[in-house]
Every structure is written in structure tokens, then in C-alpha cells.
A and B are shown apart, each in its own frame.
Chain A
């Protein structure tokens, strides 16, 4: 997989083909993406969230609220 295939999809959900070399579909939310995939009947895909490019991921801790 190459990062440059994701450049147009910052902060979006994308559906990658199984080889991870092509973005098949993109949407703002998982729900929207799933709707498209249900319509097109594509099953052999990997859903992938493209992080905002200018942010790092920070660790989370959890406890009961």
C-alpha cells in the first residue's frame, strides 16, 4: 500500500481493494460508505479511516464512568 493513494481523502472513510493499491469508494462516514458498498455489492474490500494529515494519534486510557 502507498500513502499517496489516500491524499484526496483526508478525514474520510475509504474502501480499499484487497490488494490495497486502489481506493474504490470514499465517504464522510462509515454509514455512507456502507450504503455505497451495499448498492455496488462489493464484498472484497477493506474499510480504512484516513486520519487528518496534520495530527498525531495519542494514547487513550479508560475507566468506568
Chain B
């Protein structure tokens, strides 16, 4: 039987560009942990579920913490909005959602601050992922 888990969006401070007033914005973020093979599991960290990202993208410090030697990995170029790009290192990792472990891949970059959970490597792990913008919940169906 399918299991659906709902995660409340998390609020962060946000400055209204029109008024300059700092209020809040709710983003679909969830706490995950990562590990490499059978190595130590990281601390929990909040990652943004980003359906616009092709792949998972994390700060490179998480790779170092998980014992991944990124210097041996082939660089990948990540493009976003505009003409810019960042360099990242793809690696096989485990993502932990609660106590459940998923074998997957992520890119790690020294230029990335916000951990992003993308389609290939996170959303692809589940039967469905639904964003409820009105209720500000994300529902993950396993």
C-alpha cells in the first residue's frame, strides 16, 4: 500500500522588493541526511525540493563531510538562469528521509549554498511528489 507523507513548507525571512519590509516566505524544504556507502550518516540538514532542478545539488562541504573525495571525480557544469554556470562534482550517495535510505546521486559544488533536491535523483525516487501551494505542504508518495 502506498505511503504518503506530508511535509509543511518552512518559513524564511523575505524582503518585499516593493515595500522593503521583511516578512516571510514559505518554501518546500525538508530535513534529510546523506551518507556514502556504509559510512557515517550526516547531521540533518534542510534541503529545498526544487522541481526546476534536473539533479540534486549540494554544497561541497557535505561531500567532504560524507568522506567523498571529490578531487577524483569528473566535473560537471551546472547552468541556471542567465549566462552563468557553476562547476560541480557528481557522486553516488545515500539520501536518508527519516530512517529510510535511498541510493541515488548528487552534484556537489563549492559555489552552491542552498541544498537542492531535483527531479533525477530525488523526485524520481518516489511514486509522486505533489506541491500544495495553497496549503503550503508537499506530499511525497512512496
Contact = CB atoms under 8 A, between A and B. Distances in A.
Contacts of A62: 53-55, 57, 76-79, 88, 107, 118
B97 interface: no
B51 to A, nearest CB: 8
B12 A63 contact: no
B43 A61 contact: no
Given A30-B59, A57-B27, A46 B79 contact: no
Interface in B82-120: 85, 87-88, 107, 113-116, 118
Given A2-B11, A30-B61, A60 B79 contact: yes
Given A1-B11, A47-B45, A59 B115 contact: no
B44 A46 contact: yes
A23 interface: no
A39 B58 CA distance: 24
Interface string A39-65: 000010111111101100111111111
Given A46-B45, A60-B116, A65-B87, A6 B77 contact: no
A37 B81 contact: no
Contacts of A58: 52, 80-81
Interface of A: 1-4, 6-7, 10, 20, 29-31, 34, 37, 43, 45-51, 53-54, 57-65
23 contacts: A3-B12, A6-B13, A7-B13, A7-B22, A34-B61, A43-B43, A46-B43, A49-B46, A51-B12, A53-B13, A57-B27, A57-B114, A59-B50, A60-B78, A60-B80, A61-B54, A61-B80, A62-B53, A62-B54, A62-B55, A62-B79, A62-B107, A65-B85
